[in-house]
Amino acid sequence: MKLVIFDVDGTLIFSEKRDSRAFAATYEKIYRRAFPTIDWRTYPHVTDTTIFDSVIRQHFGRPSSEPEVRRFQEHYVALLEDNRRAAPRDYLEVPGARQAVAALEQDSRYLIGVATGGWKWSAEVKLRHVGITIDRRLFSGADGKASREHIIEEVIGYAGELHGNSFDKVVYIGDAIWDVDTTRNLQLGFVGVRRQGDFSLLQREGARHVIRDYLDYDGFLRLVDEAVPPGERNSLLE
């Protein structure tokens, strides 16, 4: 059995940065301060917990508190839901993602989970909009965790508890440079997703396998089976 763990944004769904802008808009509405940037690469870790805490520290010189994180989440999730009701066609699945997840769930050779840098509540709203459901017991977000490594490790731990460590390989499916870095750090198999076909973005970071979508399901499974940890960064692809 292989444990296949999916990222969410850019991997299963996409919104052309609308959700990122909603994050910034929520902050600006609550705190009346300009949100610094939605270029997530500028933050110490690309997780909602770290991003929010970093901006609070920058503006107020203190760490964020649990009550204000919850307050922010409530406003942010409400905005995500409002945006989806107003313009449902702006928030889509990566082609074939829903069918791929459903097929994997029915295949005894694979166990699937989600490890997202977003908070779990907001991630579930996003996935529910496109009809993707994954066992909540194998679903981890940034809640209480600063790094993506800790999020993925939590899913692996949950899977081990539920299935007695019966999986012989762990593969992470992600779309971003930080996903390559994280899987390299953890030495996990990696398959990249670049919906726009710009495969070199991940390949130059060390990714060996990148797909555009899940429409070729058999091809996707083949890459999952072949997946290896990312290698070193390849500057020749720049």
Identify whether residues 109 and 177 lie together within a single domain.
yes
Tens digits of per-residue pLDDT, 112-158?
999 999 999 999 999 999 999 888 889 999 999 999 999 999 999 99
How many domains does one find in the chain? Answer: 2
Identify whether residues 197 and 222 lie together within a single domain.
yes
> Which of 54, 73, 89 corresponds to the end of one domain?
89
The contacts of residue 10 (CB under 8 Å, 6+ apart) are 94, 174, 175, 176, 193, 195
> pTM (2 decimals)?
0.95
Identify whether residues 78 and 101 lie together within a single domain.
no
Identify whether residues 233 and 129 lie together within a single domain.
yes
What are the CA-CA distances from residue 76 to residues 20, 186, 210 (Å)?
10, 31, 31
pLDDT of residue 116: 97
**Domain harbouring 142, CATH code:** 3.40.50.1000
> Residue 199 corresponds to which amino acid?
F
In angstroms, rounded to a whole number, what is the distance separating the alpha carbons of residues 177 and 49? 19
Identify whether residues 51 and 127 lie together within a single domain.
no
pLDDT of residue 238: 54
Identify whether residues 208 and 102 lie together within a single domain.
yes
What is the residue range of 141's domain?
2-15+92-237
Identify whether residues 33 and 109 lie together within a single domain.
no
Residues of the chain whose pLDDT is less than 70? Answer: 235-238
Tokens of 78: 């409400």
Identify whether residues 103 and 187 lie together within a single domain.
yes
| DSSP label at residue 61 | S
The partner residues of 4 in beta bridges, in order of sequence, read 112, 171
Identify whether residues 78 and 126 lie together within a single domain.
no
Nearest Cα to 91, choosing from 192, 176, 177, 21? 21
